[in-house]
Structure 1
Amino acid sequence: MTEAQGAAMTESRNAAVERASLQQRRAAAPHGSAWVSANAGSGKTRVLIDRVARLLWAGARPERILCLTYTKAAAAEMTTRLSAQLGGWALADDAALRAELIRLTGERAPDAARMASARRLFAQALETPGGLKIQTIHAFCDAVLRRFPLEAGISPAFSVLDDQMRGLLIARVRDRLAEAAAQGENDAFDRVAAVLGDEGLDALNAEILSNRALFRAPPAPDALCAAFGVDRAALEERPLDALFDGADMVRLHALAVGLSAGGRNDGWIGHPLVEALATDDPDARAEALGRALRKGDGAPRDWAKNPTSSFSDAHPDARPMLAALSARYEAARARADALAAAGRAIVLNAYATAFLDAFEDEKRARGALDFDDLVAKAGRLLTEGEMGAWALYKLDGGVDHILVDEAQDTAPDQWRVIRALADEFYAGEGAREGDRTLFVVGDEKQSIYSFQGADVRLFGATRDHVAARMEAAAAPFNALTLETSFRSAPAILRVVDAAFARAPEGLSAAGAPPMHAAAKHDLVGRVDLWPMLPKDDAAPEPPWSDPVDAPAPANPRLVLARALAAEVARWIRTGERLPGGDRAVRAGDIMVLVRRRDILAAELVRALKRHGVDVAGADRLKIGEDLAVRDLLALARFALTPGDDLTLAALLRSPLCGLSGAALEALAAPRAATLWAALRADPAHRTVAARLEAAMAAADFLRPYEFFERALTQEGGRQRLLARLGVEAEDAIDELLAQALAYEDDSAPTLEGFLDWIGRGEIEIKREMDKGAGAVRVMTVHGAKGLEAPVVILPDCAAGKAG
């Protein structure tokens, strides 16, 4: 590259950065509302923080600024960054502060008085009672309901259910409904279990709770039937039972036998048709007819081409007869499906109503709300009736500026709360003294929480609603787009735009293809595409002794995981350079993003460890599945029931006791009594037996937390567990201790009670992965939101079923 070319590239980069910075300053301007669509890496968090800082500098009172974020972690990060910025202003020398304020506003240098006011902002924020209101929407709704509990129709002393208690209440409700069905009081449970089976019931309960708004006014059975085009009186009909009525059975049987004896294509019709004619079971007959009359993808066969020409020439009536039978089948199948769907909808609505009523009863008995209740009840409080007007009047006096982060992930009930607050800014006396603003920032393309109720269409619809209200009130409003990425290389952005250019639907409400620009034109990037790994149909069957649910060794997802691990190990072993060549790739540079935590993620972690690559493990883990927690719970169970040989055997093999497999076999095989008796009688294991005797004695009088803490510290259990299982086990151990403390707050602190309590729920914890501790991070796309890494691997891009 010549000197002139380098200078031109630098000038182009500086111009791009200046254009992007100008857009950022416009978005952060404190006078007037703004709605910002911001691409990933375009600096939206910085814009949000700059806007809060400029609002404060323009004279807004800290307690009148409300900043709503999606997660507690985002709220904490924003608070930290804002405090650092304001603190930096307080300590900076005049030249540095002047330069920072010019960068912030793009205006001329401030005078001494303005600089002095900027220095005071940090102290003002610290002295504000309760601090700056940077919180999640759930925390805000919680505060509103605690301020107006009677107006909201709830207990002033309500509690908020954590995930563990919520899971226990769901299990209690399920048991209540099962008992009601057994007693003949309400058969909703039995009817839905007959459709789903036991395994699908927990997933259904979760879906009902996630979509509870749909069941607030459930439709009547007649209305549900009408929606499927059937009458309720016809639900018992079986249209598929009469398919052969009026048919020439002798001729049809002859055709079936002839087709089954013909070539391969005719056999696809003939063999199942013979089955259908031979059975007296109506369900088996309908299933066989479906295979005969439909193709493998479920579409009807083309009877102008089937059966084959040779067979049709010999049997001219074959195609017309089969076409007529197919038409009757398709009509009957469609009506049977409609009747079945209507019947299931009735069963679902009846069960959902009973489930939600019982769930509300359980919460009401405890004076408890869950997180969805917080938002829903706050929304109803602020939008319905005279009490809502009163609450809005009182709140309206305390909020002048609302800032909403990650708006693309805001659910309808959450928008309801935000709109109720913002509409007051421009209604009647709400448009009172001075500037009152709404600032919203988000990226429709990053909307990944639809399963939690987020609707990307509301991003554009709410923007249009706000713009109309602003125009009616003659209030300034800016709709801006931040397209320039300060994070990613041009090569990465070009690939992203190209990938979605042909299929932009669903990325935004308008369906427009994405457009990204790079601020750093000279930043080197690289995209590697690996070929698809097909399923190996010729792979041998796994040994009969393998577990039936174990994946086959040739499973493509396992093969891919092992290949990725080998490639990552090669990078680190050979000193592979990062794009641009400034340094070698390190384990902490690498982030692997998967769609779900399945065999691909698990095998990748195992394979990386086998290659000696430092790996942080999964971003979420269920503590009941963690080996360290299982070992500690086994210790507690043994302390309560020392005669349980299986529990003791598992405990002896754990790091807490450290027996080898051979030592355990030598101890257990010749025993005449219990394993515990054999252990106590063997002098070779006197130290282990003494440790377990101490645990048994402690179980009689120590609280659950004290019992586990004693095992971990006084007995050295934590050190032994971490030495065997790695530092990633520490998160689960700490969460077990936290759960023990939580249990003691609400229940009689017995070890037996705690074991029963923790066994009923499934506790999942999120591990902090933002730093990675110098290790490869394997996490879901959802868990990686907001994180960055020099090397990102996407191994889970195929559509359809895994594997």
Structure 2
Amino acid sequence: MKAPGHQMILASAGSGKTYALTNRFVQLLAGGAAPERIVALTFTRKAAGEFFDEILKKLARAATEPAYARQLAREVDATALGPVDFLRLLRAVIDAMPRLSLGTLDGFFARIVRSFPLELGLSGDFEVMEESVARRERRRVLRRMFTAAGEPDDAQREFIEAFKRATFGVEEKRLARVLDGFLDRHAEKFLAAPESERWGEPAHIWPEGCGWLADAGRREQAAKTLRAAWPWAELNEKQRTRLEMFFLALPEWSPGAPLPDAVAYIVKNAFLVWDDLRRGRADFTLERKKIALDAGACAALVAVVSGIAGAELARRLEMTRGLFAVLRGYERNYHDSVRRLGRLTFADVQRLLLPAAGAPVLSGDEAGEARLLVDWRLDAKFDHWLLDEFQDTSFGQWSVLRNLIDEAVQDAEKRRSFFYVGDVKQAIFSWREGDPRLFREIFNHYNQAEPGMIAEGRLDQSWRSGPAVVAMVNRVFGDTAALREIVPASAADTWAREWREHVSAKPQPGYAELRHAEDEAGRFAETLRILREIEPLKRGLEVAVLVRKNDTAAALADYLRREGKLAAVAESDVPVAIDNPLTCALLALLRAAAHPGDSMAQEHLRMTPLGGLLEAEGMVSRDALTARLLAEIHTDGFAGTLEHWLRKLAPVIAEDAFSTERGRLLVEAAEAFDENGSRDVAEFLEFAERHAVRDADMAGVVRVMTIHKSKGLGFDLVLLPDLEGKTLAERRDGLAVQKAEDRSVEWVLELPAKLFYERDPVLAAHVTAAEADAAYESLCLLYVAMTRAKRAMIVITEPAGESVSRNFPKLLETALGETWSEGDPAWWRALPLIEKAPAPAETLGALAGGEAARVARLLSTTPSGTERATVGGRALFALSAGRAAAFGTAVHALLAAVEWKELQVATDWPAGGMEAEAVAEAQACLDAPALAEVWTRPSCDLAEVWRERAFEGVLDSVWVTGVFDRVVVERTVTGAVVRVTVYDFKTDRVEDTPEERTRVIARYARQLETYRKMAALLTGASLAQVGCALVLTAVRRRVELPPGADLAGSGERSG
């Protein structure tokens, strides 16, 4: 087979990157490639899942729709293929699923290590730890370091003692948190450069020498000389006072500490005339008047300032070497007690595939024959490489793959291929080592060896954004002159080289505008005013408000809920153990038991319903609480203990769906923690406080999120009210790490203050380059923000005016003018109101009641929580409902595997390990004539089926979370919804009688009505277009929910 050739695709936002990737995969299949010989890698599991889903959808649609089969065949240059061929390819992909290499880079690297542990130096089995587990191991190492019997070296002892002194009187858990933060900031830098000569070594930083260092010890004598040489007679009283303050403050200053204002004043003014001072004659400004200095005074002032600068640099070098010593001591302990036992992080896995020098190990001579064997075997296994989001690939990740891709690119028979796609204008993850320069460097590297070896493709037509939005994007990012005025020229030029004018492929009405507000309060208020005016949720529009920080997202979402009574949510990973009164109280219970002297935890308990429960249980004394709780934890683990106390709280929270759900999530987290066998309360508390649950897809809400989180998403309306800031060229704080062209670390230094580093050519060059990189990343961040909108985008900034800040507002005003708009400002009026707006959210009180909780919060529930039944508190909090629940879960899982019956091979089910009874019931449902419509593709232009689709949304002020069993969406060729049918599978053991079916529909009517409303919300259909039906698997019956079903009846509503 001849491969389709090597290609680099630069895909602008919304231009169909995933479409191009999936077409490439299908093209390889059509050319005869075995699915398991194709490697397709991206960065997140979600993106990998979407990529795989799209491949299956394309193949399945082409297998059943001749017109689409012809279209796809043309797109992949395989015009001879028809539906039968695409069905064959679909079957090949499904058969190869266990062997496919479609996933994340981290996952792929872990697979390599698992396949070749001995060749890569591992003695046996290993485990790739999740972040929470790795952090727990780190804490254990730190505790051992503090209690180690051996003597630490001087630098380590100095560091640890400094931490102990700084946190005197604070519990050890607080000290551990401080150390944890230190390692978060510096550990990876050490692992990238574990050689001591890279850390604070003057010869590496200044190969030609640094004159200031030689003057480090002379400032005291130089100050005496300067005092004697200064022309005091020419000074007025104010100048004399200023100079005396300098001489008084200088001896009190310690290098490494901020310069006193009196000293900084003289140093700054000296640097303003530095060249004149060194020539021996200068006019020095003191209190706005110039003083002529002779050669002696000039030399003395140069000596003093050089001594100050030298002492500061020497101290920074010493601090850097001290950091290295501490990190080395920690890493030795960590390596011996964690890594050597086979417990690795994903970063460890990647480093295992790299030699110390940073070049690929898979074929490095120094690695020996074992390494070569790894290389040969991997090279023999894979023929085609597809890399997604390549702008976020790090140099280390590329180094692992480079030799294997070299072999594919240089294949003389042209049977193999390399394809990479991304957008250097969306490179917003350099903080995690993403390296957008690789994109062009790799292209140039291969094409220098053989011109045209890799073809360049571009996708600049947006299938997401309308003309008005695209016009604004073009005006801002296509204005090179404006960019050069705001960001460093090198950053502007780099941007201009990759920029191409965008074109909208969506000729629909829309709007884009730059408007102003005076301050943050005004920007928040204007955001609310726009949302009230447009009423996007009532019109079925998806809306996002994008901000720069999680804290801002939380504050703005709270403002929109409180002041506007809007269903607004700050999207982020939700810290479910600390965002509500119930779980905070449960953590306080554990804390009080483990630390009887923790008066805050004790008082917290007293103010909650747990206080009354403890008293009723006879656990009034602290000793009794400690003995009882620690015994429960030892016997039942944290999950069992928490479940036990949740049962006791059941009467208190029975009507509080939000707290009930949070309690369940905390028990789930505890189950995960219990798997490691630990009964350490401090470890569990630290784990629980960090544990977060990612939100499911949401509908019917205003989504407030960071720009980073919005990447890859699109919304009908986007508001940008948080683009303020000082400068776009602000380098990240922390150690300066200078890298060579091959990305190896040349030197590491704790930088001195700007006053000093900007006067040193080496340090100034490093900072200038870092600021240019930061400015480019800032442009990428703004580009991502401004390319999320489909129909309309409104940017709200404070007026830049005469401000000298080179920030986003200044850039926008420079490119657009003070005000700017494009399109129809009343674009939304043509969209009808499709649903009654959610009512204002109710306030969720604290468990203790009273005034404690004033912020409006939406209650949470699940559709199944509306079933009519009487459920006791014990059953409510039970983790399992026995065999019936397990059987129901098995049947649901089997039916979820069915897309359309004509594609289903039910004989595969027994191989999946399901029990025979569940398989028999599922098969009977597939074969039942009464249920045929459930599994048959409808005869419409376009049909899609959702299976086990999770959802979240707001209905009537209630936050609804659930999972659809099966939803069939029928659309016209233009995508308009014709009909939606929701099927809910029930494995209840019922009789096939009209009376029994009536009882069942009465029991589940509210649940189905909730599903109906959510399906309408998610698809944009009207309620009249959505039908609901129960599928009773025991009797193979379909029972429709009649319009306006009578919901009256007896029974309690379970919590």
After TM superposition, the score normalised by the length of structure 1 is: 0.74
The reply on whether 1:138 has 2:138 as its aligned counterpart is: no
Q: 1:595 aligns with which of 548, 569, 577?
A: 548
Q: Secondary structure at the match of 2:118?
A: helix
- Structure 2 residue aligned with 1:454: 434
Q: Distance in 1 between matches of 2:655 and 2:202?
A: 56
Letter in 1 for 2:685: I
Amino acid at match of 1:765: A
1:369 shift after superposition: 1.1
Deviations 1:324-372 (A, max 9, x none): 6543343223322332232223223323333333322232343111111
Deviation of 1:648 (Å): 5.1
Where does 1:779-798 land on structure 2 (aligned, <5 Å)? 779-798=705-724
- CA deviations over 1:160-192 (Å, ceiling 9, x no partner): 121112212333344444556994544335248
Q: Which residue of 2 aligns with 1:65?
A: 38
Aligned to 1:335: 310
C-alpha separation between the residues in 1 aligned to 2:352 and 2:446? 23
* Deviation of 1:122 (Å): 1.6
Instruction: Report the Cα distance in structure 1 between the residues aligned to 2:462 and 2:218, rounded to whole angstroms.
Output: 60
- In structure 1, the residue corresponding to 2:225 is in which secondary structure? coil
Could you say which residue in structure 2 is the equivalent of 1:390? 373
2: CA distance between counterparts of 1:345 and 1:47? 47
Partner of 2:497: helix, strand, or coil?
Answer: coil
Where does residue 763 of structure 1 map in the other structure? 690
**Matching residue's letter, 2:444:** D
Residue 630 (str. 1) matches residue 560 (str. 2): no
AA paired with 1:125? V
Find out whether 1:94 has 2:80 as its counterpart: no
- Counterpart CA distance in 2 for 1:76 and 1:186 is 51
Cα deviation for residue 150 of structure 1 reads 0.4
Aligned to 1:570: 529
- Tell me what 2:185 maps to: 207
Write the mapping of 1:315-354 to structure 2, written as runs, cut at 5 A: 326-354=301-329
Residue 623 of structure 1, CA deviation = 4.7
Among 52, 57, 60, which residue is 1:79 paired with? 52
Other-structure match for 1:408: 391
Question: Within 1, Cα distance between the matches of 2:268 and 2:387?
Answer: 51
The percent of aligned pairs where both chains have the same amino acid is 24
Q: Distance in 1 between matches of 2:348 and 2:652?
A: 39
Q: Distance in 2 between matches of 1:791 and 1:346?
A: 52
Q: Which residue of 2 aligns with 1:483?
A: 460
Q: Which runs of 5+ in 1 are unaligned?
A: 1-28, 261-268, 534-555, 578-582, 658-663, 668-674, 683-690
1:97 to partner: Cα distance:
2.9
**Alignment gaps of 5+ in structure 2:** 168-176, 277-281, 356-360, 485-489, 731-797, 799-1055
Residue 712 of structure 1 and its aligned partner are, at CA, apart by: 4.4
User: Is 1:119 paired with 2:87?
Assistant: yes
Structure 2 CA distance for aligned equivalents of residues 476 and 295 of structure 1: 55
User: In 2, Cα distance between the equivalents of 1:494 and 1:298?
Assistant: 47
Instruction: Identify which range, 61-70 or 331-340, moves more after superposition.
Output: 331-340
Distance between the aligned counterparts of 2:561 and 2:442, measured in 1?
48
State yes or no: 1:438 paired with 2:418. yes
Q: For 1:725-764, what per-residue CA distance to the aligned partner results, in whole angstroms no more than 9, with x for missing partners?
A: 6xxx95x65653343222222215x4xx345433268625
1:74-473 → structure 2 map (5 Å cutoff): 74-90=47-63, 92-102=64-74, 104-105=75-76, 110=80, 114-128=82-96, 130-178=98-146, 183-188=151-156, 190-191=158-159, 201-219=179-197, 223-225=201-203, 227-228=205-206, 237-249=216-228, 258-260=236-238, 270-278=240-248, 281-283=251-253, 287=260, 289-294=262-267, 304=283, 306-307=285-286, 326-380=301-355, 381-384=361-364, 385=367, 386-426=369-409, 431=412, 435-468=415-448, 471=450
More strand by share: 2
* Equivalent runs, 1:637-656 vs 2, <5 Å: 637=591, 646-647=600-601, 649-651=603-605, 653-654=607-608
Moved more, 607-616 or 228-237: 228-237
2:27–2:78 CA contact under 8 A, matched in 1: no
For the Cα contact (< 8 Å) 1:35–1:480, is it kept in 2?
yes
CA 222–207 in structure 1, closer or farther in 2 if over 3 Å, else same: closer
Contact 1:592 1:794 in 2 (8 A): yes
The aligned amino acid for 2:513 is D
Q: Deviations over 1:479-502 (max 9, x none)?
A: 111111111233333333433433
CA distance in 1, matches of 2:270, 2:435: 32
Per-residue deviation, 1:127:
1.1
Equivalence for 1:56: 29
- The 8 Å contact of residues 634 and 650 in structure 1, kept in 2 or not, is answered as yes
Residues 379 and 414, structure 1, Cα contact 8 Å, conserved in 2:
no
Amino acid at match of 1:401: H
Answer yes or no: is the 8 Å Cα contact 1:712–1:719 preserved in 2. Answer: no
Post-superposition CA distance 1:227-258 (Å, at most 9, x none): 347699979943332332223549666666x3
* CA positional deviation for 1:799: 3.3
Aligned 8 A contact 2:40 2:387 in 1: yes
TM-score, normalization: structure 2? 0.58
Alpha-carbon distance in structure 1 between the residues aligned to 2:639 and 2:695: 23
Hey, what's the Cα distance between the residues in 2 that align with 1:222 and 1:701?
A: 52
Matching of residues 703-718 of structure 1 within 5 Å: 703-712=637-646, 715-716=649-650
Deviations 1:269-299 (A, max 9, x none): 5544222334683418973552331559986
Q: Is contact 2:212-2:310 (8 Å) kept? A: no
> CA distance change for structure 1 residues 620 and 299 in 2, over 3 Å: closer, same or farther?
farther
Q: Which moved more, 1:482-491 or 1:398-407?
A: 482-491
Decide whether aligned partners of structure 1 residues 297 and 53 sit closer, same or farther in structure 2, where only a CA change above 3 A counts: farther
Q: CA separation of 1:83/1:280 partners in 2, compared to 1, >3 Å: closer, same or farther?
A: closer
8 Å Cα contact 1:412-1:458 kept in structure 2: yes
CA contact 1:645–1:676 (8 Å) conserved in 2: no
Q: How far apart in 1 are the matches of 2:597 and 2:153?
A: 42
1:614 aligns with 2:567: yes
Task: Select between 397-406 and 697-706 the one with higher mean Cα deviation.
Answer: 697-706
Q: Between Structure 1 and Structure 2, which shows a larger proportion of helix residues?
A: 1
What is the alpha-carbon distance in structure 1 between the residues aligned to residue 337 and residue 10 of structure 2?
A: 42
| Aligned 8 A contact 2:283 2:293 in 1 | no
* Structure 2 CA distance for aligned equivalents of residues 693 and 494 of structure 1: 68
> 1:396, CA displacement in angstroms?
1.8
AA at the equivalent of 1:382: L
Match in the other structure for 1:22:
none
Contact 1:576–1:585 (CA<8 Å) still a contact in 2? Answer: yes
Give 1:566's aligned amino acid: A
Match of 1:772 in 2: 698
Highest RCO, 1 vs 2 (Cα 8 Å, sep ≥ 6): 1
Q: Decide whether aligned partners of structure 1 residues 293 and 251 sit closer, same or farther in structure 2, where only a CA change above 3 A counts.
A: closer
Amino acid at match of 1:357: R
- Give the deviation of 1:63 after TM superposition: 0.9
Query: How far did 1:773 drift?
Result: 2.9
- Residues 300, 326 of structure 1: 8 Å contact kept: no
CA contact (8 A) 2:517 2:523 kept: no
Secondary structure of the corresponding residue to residue 353 of structure 1:
helix
Relative to 1, partners in 2 of residues 1:166 and 1:392: Cα closer, same or farther, differing over 3 Å?
Answer: same
| Segment of structure 1 superposing worse, 709-718 or 114-123 | 709-718
In the superposition, relative to structure 1, how do residues 210 and 595 fare at CA in structure 2: closer, same or farther (>3 Å)?
farther
For 1:512, the aligned partner's letter is R
CA deviation after TM superposition for structure 1 residue 697, in Å: 9.4
